[in-house]
Amino acid sequence: MSFISIEFLLFFTIIVCIYYLIPHQFRWILLLVASYVFYGMINVQFLPLLILSTVCTYFFGIVIEKQETKKQKKHVMLLGISILLFFLGWFKYFNFVNESLRAVAEYFNWNYSIPYQEILLPIAISFYTFQAVSYLVDVSKGKQKAERHYGYFSIYFAFFPQLVAGPIERAKKLLPQLRAEQSLEYENISYGMKRIAWGFFKKTLIADRLAPIVSSVFDSPNPTGSEVVVGTILFSIQLYADFSALSDIAIGCARILGIKLSENFKQPHFAVSISDFWNRWHITLSTWLRDYIFFPLCKGKKKRSDIYVAIIITFLVSGVWHGAAWTFVLWGLIHGIYRVFGDYTKHYREKVVSFTRLDRSPTLHRWMKISITFFLICFARVFFRSDSVSQAFENAQLFLSISSWSPVGIFKALELFTLLDFVVFSFFFIILQLFQYIERKKVSTWKLLSQRSLITRYAFYIFIILSVLVFGVSGDGFVYGRF
């Protein structure tokens, strides 16, 4: 069952109705059954793995808490995390490691006999494993009490609005909300419905409209340089619309149930630097990596060069987390290099800005930084989107060729769109930008809208719904659902 479907909306409506009709003490049963039904309808064969991971984490949490010394707690925690990472490693990385070793063996003419295994990737395994790891670490450090109620704990693991692609939540934030009795509140229902509708808008009118155009470039055996440039920029827009739509729907659904999930995006394509970008893109993953990978790696490190190494490793982990392929590893490495290079050259860049007097025009300076950051992000996404390393390097070379950016070539590459598609996409893209512009002015668009007259408000809501129904297209799932 896809988020973007009538079936999901019907399923969710039924769950909401029952949720508010039954007493609080039975709601966890409803949410757990709903979560497992939802997951089972996507891929029933991996439901036992989800349950097994939940059971393991639940018991390890309790056992960790019962240990007397910090050292014992740490040992049990590491054992628990190892089991969880074994599941993740087996299903997600076995063939990646196996094929990489085979390539090395072939290169050196060694005998290598481990065959390729037919292993399917369980949906959401990266997301729930990360939630489990953070839970075990927090319990071992005494920041989180081990949850004794197996029902609530299982929902933390499998809460259906955020199971497929996050936001990655911490137990400290989600468990108390699941335990608290939520009452039916107009504000929650209204806000949740708007967020869901906005998610549908971004997904069906931006992301899925762009998906076939982007694919036509990256699936083409010999795209032109300008097509790679246009395809990559469109992919960046598609990826943002796709993933932020998913977060919108997750946040909206949870809010209707009275639960507040973490925000995952803050207009990342308006970031003024790479570090700023990672404060705005997939925020819950970035903070997870910061707290559970980067900070521990920095322990005892005083030199900048040592911290640079920690940055590179953290971005490599981010790359590998996104997918078991060398293209993702390279994507992570590029971001790590960006971050380190950005820090190393900060002083020189400041001097250049001062010398060119760019700092006297803050708006121009800001937009230059936004443009350069976006260009760098797009370049890295050539690797993210390409199907193989060789294709990624070919595309990257095309992306960096000055001739690929010629206005004539770019204009010709826009022929990837049909005229109707271009007009429809441009119209809804402008609406999205207007929405974001209002948000950048530190005003909540929804709040602003709520201050308008009833007619204006409902005209906007009807416009969104009709746009989705008339012009929306639906592709095959979410890009981030694969991770």
Partner 1 sequence: MRNIDKYKHAFITALDIEESEVREDLALGDIREWDSIGHMGLISEMEDVFDVSIDAEWMTEFNSYSSGLELLKRLGVDFINE
- Please say which residue, 210 or 293, places its beta carbon nearer to partner 1: 293
301 touching partner 1, by CB under 8 A: yes
User: Could you give the string, one character per residue 48-87, with x where binding to partner 1 holds by CB under 8 A and - elsewhere?
Assistant: ----------------------------------------
| Sign of the Cα pseudo-torsion (101, 103, 105, 108, in order) | negative
Give phi and psi for 223, each to the nearest 5: -70, 155
The secondary structure of 80-97 as a DSSP string is: HHHHHHHHHIIIIIHHHH
Q: Tokens 């960790």 map to which residue?
A: 64
- Please say which residue, 73 or 381, places its beta carbon nearer to partner 1: 73
- Please say which residue, 301 or 360, places its beta carbon nearer to partner 1: 301
In 3-state terms, what secondary structure has residue 164? coil
- Please say which residue, 115 or 300, places its beta carbon nearer to partner 1: 300
Q: How far is the CB of 435 from partner 1 (least distance, A)?
A: 30
In the region spanning residues 231 to 290, those forming contacts with partner 1, defined by CB under 8 A, are 275, 290
CA 112 to chain centre: 36
Nearest of 293, 284, 298 to residue 316 by alpha carbon = 293
**From CA 122, how far away is CA 87, in angstroms rounded?**
10
337 touching partner 1, by CB under 8 A: no
User: Would you tell me how many other CB atoms lie within 10 Å of the CB of residue 262?
Assistant: 18
Q: How far is the CB of 291 from partner 1 (least distance, A)?
A: 4
Contact assessment for residue 297 and residue 313, using Cβ atoms and an 8 Å cutoff: yes
**From CA 311, how far away is CA 326, in angstroms rounded?**
19
Stretch that binds partner 1, among 4-12, 234-242, 297-305, 437-445 (CB under 8 A): 297-305
Instruction: Using CB under 8 A, pick the residue from 79, 298, 313, 431 that binds partner 1.
Output: 298
Instruction: Indicate the length of the chain as a whole number.
Output: 483
Q: How far is the CB of 307 from partner 1 (least distance, A)?
A: 5
- Please say which residue, 148 or 346, places its beta carbon nearer to partner 1: 346
Stretch that binds partner 1, among 204-212, 292-300, 406-414, 451-459 (CB under 8 A): 292-300
| Sign of the Cα pseudo-torsion (472, 476, 479, 480, in order) | positive
Instruction: Using CB under 8 A, pick the residue from 71, 303, 357, 441 that binds partner 1.
Output: 303
Distances (CA, A) of 378 to 225, 305, 432: 14, 27, 20
Instruction: Using CB under 8 A, pick the residue from 71, 347, 357, 441 that binds partner 1.
Output: 347
Instruction: Using CB under 8 A, pick the residue from 292, 328, 384, 417 that binds partner 1.
Output: 292
375 touching partner 1, by CB under 8 A: no
**From CA 386, how far away is CA 393, in angstroms rounded?**
9
What is the three-state SS of 245-293?
HHHHHHHHHHHHCCCCCCCCCCCHHHCCCHHHHHCCCCHHHHHHHHHHH
Stretch that binds partner 1, among 101-109, 308-316, 390-398, 400-408 (CB under 8 A): 308-316
Q: How far is the CB of 89 from partner 1 (least distance, A)?
A: 24
Catalytic residues: 322
Stretch that binds partner 1, among 159-167, 339-347, 452-460, 464-472 (CB under 8 A): 339-347
Q: How far is the CB of 135 from partner 1 (least distance, A)?
A: 14
Binding residues with partner 1: total (CB under 8 A): 23
Q: How far is the CB of 272 from partner 1 (least distance, A)?
A: 14
Q: What is the chain's Cα-based Rg?
A: 24
Contact residues toward partner 1 (CB under 8 A) are 141, 143, 275, 290-292, 295-296, 298-304, 307-308, 310-311, 343, 346-347, 350
